[in-house]
Each structure stands twice: as C-alpha cells, then as structure tokens.
Structure 1
Amino acid sequence: MSRFWSPVVQSLTPYVAGEQPVIDGLVKLNTNENPYGPSPRALAAISEAVNDTLRLYPEPTGLKLREAIAASHDLDPGEVFVGNGSDEVLAHTFQALLKHELPLLFPDITYSFYPTYCGLYGIDFREVLLDEKMQVRIEDYRQPCGAIILPNPNAPTGSALPLAAIEALLQEHPDQVVVIDEAYVDFGGESAIPLVQKYPNLLVVQTFSKSRGLAGLRVGFAVGQRPLIDALERVKDSFNSYPLDRLTQAGAVAAWEDQDWFRKHCDLIVASRERLIAALRELGFEVLPSSANFVFAEHGERGAVELAAELRKRAILVRHFRGERTENFLRITIGTDAECNKLLDALKQILA
C-alpha cells in the first residue's frame, strides 16, 4: 500500500488470473483455453495484415467484425459491440449498465471477476446462492434488484440454463438490465441471442477465447438492442477509442467466418468432455453436469488442494478455487484426448 494510491485502489481485491507458467511438457488444463488453436484462415488473415498499414490506427468500431457477427444472427451491426476480450466488454457493461440504487444480482459461485468489477466501480451487489446441486434457480432472482448478470453456462460449475429459463427471467425483470455471459455457450448451451430483438433489457456477451481458440488475440463482443450498445460505446469512447488492433480485427473476422473449423473442434471438445467425465467417475469423482469446455469435480476421499499439488508435480495444471463451497472441487479444462489421458494416468497413480 502506498500513500500515492487513490482510495479505490486501497480497497480493491484484484481478480487472480489462471497460472501461465513455462514448464517443459506441460499439460495445461487450468485456464479453459482451446487445445486445438485457431482456424488456419485466422492465422493467414493475421499474416496478411502485417504490412505498412500498421502505421495507421485501426477502424475504431470493429465494423467488419460487427457486420460479420450481425449477419450471422440477422441483426444490425449497430446492435453489436466489440472489445478487447470479453473481460473488457464486461468491464464497460458493469460501468455503463449495472450500477443502480438497488444491488446487482449474480450467483455466489460464478466468474470471480464480477465482485472485482463491483469493487472497482462502486457497485452494490448481492450474491444469490446456487442450490445444493450447484445449479442456478431462476426463482431465487425474484427479488428487488438494479440489474442481473448470469454466466450461462455458469463458471466454474459448467451448468447451463435452458433458453426458456432465461426468457422467464427477462419477463420477470422488464425494468432491469439482464446480462447473459456466454463465454462457454458453444460447448452445449443455448444462446440467448435469438431473444435480443424481443427484449430491450437483454445484453448477451460472448468471447473468441474459448470456442474459436483466440485467447491470445483478445476479442469479445456484446449483442443487444441499440440503446444498450450505445451505452457501451459511450463508455468505450471515453476510455479507449481503438480497443481492437488491425491484426486482431483481421483474425477475428476470418475465425468467425470459418464455421466448419469452429464446429468441428467444438464437437471434438464435447466428445472428449463426455469421455473424461465417465473416466473421472470411475476413479471415484463426483462430476457436475457440464455444458462448457471444462468439468467441475470433487473426489470423496482426497482433497482438491492435495490433488492439484500432486498433478502439478507431474507437470499437469488444473484450477482450484478456495471457498467454503468450492474447496473440494477441481476445475479441469478439456484438453486433447492425449492430454486427458495423461491427466487420468496421473490421477490413477496419485489415488493409488
């Protein structure tokens, strides 16, 4: 702590990102990255964009990317907002749309950046308990609030709500913004984007980091009716007019347009997830149902801290979240089948 800090800095509890170590032979299953990487078309587009135009500022609104996303969902480009990763999109959303007199609602076990944003922007919030099965119950959100944000599928649990439940939530809160954070929706969830034109209070946020294998490029977007997008643009243009550089925009457009690559590798990850769930259960783990590219699992006889430490000794990283309800769980990213097999072999050794 320094006497030069602003008061808000002194009170912040920063988000802790997943570990990114450099270890030979590492099996990295801790940050939900895509094990197959981006589309070759995205890599080619990035390479082609490395030219003299880098001396010029990029198009400030990401127009070509917004047009590509909008066309896929029969929307107007003015109903799409793009930013430097979905974390930046969420940060602008918290500042532009989620600060009100009544508290913001979100689950007690969820993306741990949410309370960090609340601290940064001075947003009052209330955590809504997941049920005993670690599921979101829409009826628990029938309470006074300023706004609601839900990840769907939820993180780190992987559980997903059906679209009908999201629509019910929107109908029950017509005067509050409802943000659906869909970072993992492409692995088995139902996107709420088809509801955008019907509900003016809905904002849907997605990312290119997971299903499109571009975590290193930092691309996120939001979809909503024009007044919500306008609010995000006003905050963005008061913060950074050029959040996506030329290389990023070129790569993201190409990745979005390569639907065959996208779908093929989502299907591979889903198939690997189901095989991993079955194998973990055979080893004595309880694994929550997952619609994401990770699983949330606990072992009845061995602690999660011990298991994570033993796996790390074998150059296998998984994620552990401290907390009363998450202490015994490991969040395990779905890797390639070869990586999942290394994980399972290591767990067999440890459990023996």
Structure 2
Amino acid sequence: MKTVEQVTAINQVSEYPQIEQTLWTELGSNEVMRLHCNETAFDIPQNLKQQLVNKMLNVAWNRYPDFHQTQLHALIAKEAGVATENIVLGNGSSQLIQQIVNCCSKFLSEAIIENPTFTVYHQMCQNERMPYKNWHISEENAFNLSTFPQVTEPSLIILTSPNNPTGASLPLTTLKTLLNQHPGCVFMVDEAYGEFGGESALPLVNEYANLLVLKTLSKGYGLPGIRFGYAAGNASLINLIKKHTIPFTINVFTELVVTDFLTNPLYSNVVKAHQARVKNLRDFVSYLLDEMADETSFSVLPSAANFILLRFHDAGLLEQIKQVLSARNIMVGYPVAQCLRLTIGTEVEMNTVLRLIKYEIRQHKASADELASIQVTQEMV
C-alpha cells in the first residue's frame, strides 16, 4: 500500500574521481528515496547537532524571543552585505512570499510570474485576488526579453534564479534591463537555489529601490526543518513590507541555529562541503543522462540548481519510467507535462536511478524495434 506522499509524487571525466568510486553501490530496495522535494541529501553531523542541543538547554523557553531580532538582523545584514534596515526576516521564504504579495496587492494592480515556476506564487496571488500574467520560460532562451508580457500599470514582477523546475539562471544583465525598463514596478527575485549556481542579485539592492531579493536556508544550507529566510531591499520598501507581518515569526531555537551556522566555522565548512558535493554530483549525473538521451527519448535541461529536469519526447517511455520508479519507492517530481524533475540525492541514490533509467530506455527501444519488425513482416505478408 502506497503512502500519501508516494501517491502525490506519482501524480504530479576525471573531474569526479570520488563520485565514480562511490556511484556503483546498489541501494536497498525497501528504502524510500526522496528525490522530489529538492532537499539536500546530506544532513549535519550528529556531533554538531548535539552541540546545538546543548546550547538550547540554556535558552529561556518560557520567554518570548527578542521582538526586533536585533542581533539576528545585524548578522544577516552582514552576511548579505547590506545595512540592517535593508533586511526583513521570515519563517522560511514561503512566509515572506505571502507577506510580500499581501503587501504589494494593496497598491499594485497585477503580478507577472514566470511559467513554469514554483506554484506558491500563483496560489498567493489568487489568495489576495491579485490578477497575474505569465512570462513563459523557454528551453532554448530561458529568460527571453522579447516574450516578456506587456506592463500597462505598476506590477509585482516575481522572478526566480535558478528557476524551479527548469534550473535556468537569470542573468544579471537581463534583470538590470527589466529594472531600468519598469522603475514603477516592484521586483521580487527568489534565490532559494542560489547557492548552487547563477549570479546573485543581492549587490543590486543598494542600486535599485524597487528590488527585493529572497534568500533561504532551506536549500543550499540544508536546513528546511528550521524554517528561516530573509528578504533584502530598499529601506523604505522593507519598512512597508514589515507592516504586513505578525510578531515573533522567528523562534528562539531557529535564531540559535542560524546564528551558529553563520558564525561557527565548523558549520560553515560542512555546508560548503555539502554544496560542492551536490554541484559535482549534479554535473556528473547530467553528463551521464545526456549520454543516454537522444531526440527520440528525452533531453536534459542545463541546471544551476540541486535538481535536473528531463523533458521526454516519448510519452510511453516516461510512463514506463514512472511505473518503475514508483515500484522501487523512488519519489521524483512531475511539475510540467512530459517532464521529470530529479533532485540530486546521494551517490548511491543517483546510481540507482541512473541504472533504472538506462535499463528502461533499452527495454523500451527493444519493444519498439520488435513492434516495428512485426509490422514489417505483416506488410510483407
């Protein structure tokens, strides 16, 4: 019997010597493989977790957090390279997205959202009864300015870099062009996957008064469980957004973990090692998948994130792969029609998926050849 999570998932070279040494071990067939949420597969070592737990014992659990989060604001501002008045903190970037859309819906008439993209943006706009237009992201030229929707009134323009689910990175030159063309619009650039690749727009915050940049510790830092994110922007814009929040969005335990992660070199070293490991695996897996791909089966989209999107040209092959992954308790994403999104997991997990895909391609091709042979024989008769 499948779990609710599984059913949901179903419906919706020398540079790599260490990877090559560990890729060829098979994963146990009874384990559930979580390759659908774009999580980082590598957790924090137990000894570092224990240090954090020990520090939590000294925190007053019976007291409210600092209302202004003064120390945490200062720490995040230093990390982002801006002043403290340019920062607003949030309970993960999703809460900040809701807060920003709620705020902007009061004085902006519509939104422009990439397509495809993270579905939360559409949901938040619908909740606020804010109409929106789609900017269609193509495979060949992801952020094509010639296809950018016409802006008739000041709007909230929601961009992502790297984009989820395509993995495409937004060039800063393209962003600057849009910022200069639409000074009356508010731009929100979500960089949830920014630690895995692409150019960050954070340095532009001091240059453009209408720019907001969202960051989170859920992806590149591998800490989705602690729920922490922040937005950087012009002080006047940040103050306006702060009026649309509730108090105490950051609890004392989250503040403790974030503070340690950004100030303790031990955590910093672990996070950097995990990020490098994910990026190396992503590039190596993309290379191997690209070798399997052709114009009749599927194509591999370039990715600057911690996932890879495969676009299938053969619906039968995609369905065959869906079934075998489901049977093996491997949860992947299907965010776009005829596409499969594969989160980068461990070396063992990647090996298992690659072997299954390669095997199914061979089986599918063999079946197609056999069918073609039968048809030829029938025609000759």
3-state secondary structure, aligned to 2:224: coil
5 Å-filtered alignment, 1:220-239, equals 220-236=229-245
Unpaired segments ≥5 residues, structure 2: 1-6, 11-28, 364-381
Quick one: percent identity of the two aligned structures?
A: 28
Cα distance in 1 between the residues matched to 2:9 and 2:259: 29
| Change beyond 3 A, Cα 1:87–1:38 | farther
1:298 is paired with a residue of what secondary structure? strand
Please state if 1:77 is matched with 2:84: yes
CA distance in 2, matches of 1:42, 1:70: 25
- For residues 166-203 of structure 1, the C-alpha deviation after alignment (integer angstroms, 9 at most, x for no partner) is 12211111111111000011101111000000111000
**Aligned CA distance change for structure 1 residues 184 and 244 (closer, same or farther; 3 Å):** same
Q: 1:268 aligns with which of 248, 255, 277?
A: 277
RMSD between superposed Cα atoms in Å: 2.3
- The 1:141–1:102 alpha-carbon spacing in structure 2 relative to 1, beyond 3 Å, is farther
2:251 corresponds to which letter in structure 1? D
Residues 147 and 279 from structure 1, CA distance in 2 versus in 1: closer, same or farther, beyond 3 angstroms?
same
CA separation of 1:175 and 1:310: change in aligned 2, threshold 3 A: same
* More moved, 84-93 vs 335-344: 335-344
Please identify, of 155-164 and 342-351, the stretch whose mean Cα deviation from structure 2 is larger: 342-351
Aligned counterpart for 2:197 among listed residues 188, 196, 202: 188
Structure 1, 243-252 or 39-48: larger mean CA deviation = 39-48
Compare 128-137 and 337-346 and name the one that shifted more.
Answer: 128-137
| Matched residue count | 327
Residue 230 to residue 72, structure 1, CA distance change in 2 (3 Å): same
Q: 2:338 aligns with which of 298, 308, 328?
A: 328
Q: Deviations over 1:120-158 (max 9, x none)?
A: 111111112223536122343362141201011111100
Give the conservation status (yes or no) of the 8 Å contact 1:107–1:136: no
Structure 2 residue 312 is matched with structure 1 residue 299: yes
C-alpha displacement of 1:46: 4.6
Query: Does the aligned pair in 1 maintain the 2:214–2:231 contact within 8 Å?
Result: yes
Larger mean Cα displacement after TM superposition, 49-58 or 164-173? 49-58
Match of 2:218 in 1: 209
Q: Matched residues in 2 for 1:84 and 1:305: separation?
A: 38
* Matched residue, 1:342: 352
The structure 2 residue matched to 1:259, chosen from 254, 263, 268, is 268
d(CA) in 1 for partners of 2:220, 2:290: 25
Give how far 1:303 is off.
4.5
Q: Give me the whole-angstrom Cα distance separating, in 2, the residues matched to 1:99 and 1:130.
A: 28
Assess, with a 3 A threshold, how the Cα gap between structure 1 residues 318 and 286 changes in structure 2: closer, same or farther. same
Deviation beyond 6 Å, 4+ runs, structure 1 = none
One-letter identity of the residue aligned with 2:252: R
TM-score by length of 2: 0.80
Q: Which runs of 5 or more structure 1 residues have no equivalent in the other structure?
A: 1-16
Contact kept, 8 Å, 1:81 with 1:223, in 2: the verdict is yes
| Residue identity matched to 2:72 | L
| Structure 2: distance between partners of 1:43 and 1:175 | 49
| Alpha-carbon offset, residue 313 of structure 1 | 0.9
The one of 318, 321, 332 equivalent to 2:332 is 318
Name the residue aligned to 1:12. none
Partner of 1:150: 159
Alpha-carbon distance in structure 1 between the residues aligned to 2:41 and 2:184:
41
Report the CA distance between 1:228 and its aligned residue: 1.6
Name which of 283, 286, 290 aligns with 1:277.
286
Residue from 212, 217, 227 that aligns with 1:218: 227
Query: In structure 2, what is the Cα distance between the partners aligned to 1:200 and 1:43?
Result: 43
Higher relative helix content: 2
Partner of 1:36: 42
In structure 2, the CA distance between the partners of 1:140 and 1:226, relative to structure 1 (3 Å rule), is: same
Distance in 2 separating the partners of 1:151 and 1:269: 20
Counterparts of 2:106 and 2:292 in 1: how far apart (Å)? 45
Which residue of the partner structure matches residue 161 of structure 1? Answer: 170
Q: State the shift of 1:307 in Å.
A: 2.1
What one-letter code is carried by the residue in structure 1 that aligns with 2:329? A
CA contact (8 A) 1:46 1:250 kept: no
Q: Partners of 1:24 and 1:77 in 2: how far apart?
A: 49
Among 237, 244, 247, the alignment partner of 2:253 is 247
Residues 292-323 of structure 1: per-residue CA shift (max 9 Å, x gap): 000110233344344233202112110012xx
Q: Structure 1 residues 41 and 231 mapped into 2: Cα distance closer, same or farther (>3 Å)?
A: farther
The structural deviation recorded for 1:348 is 2.6
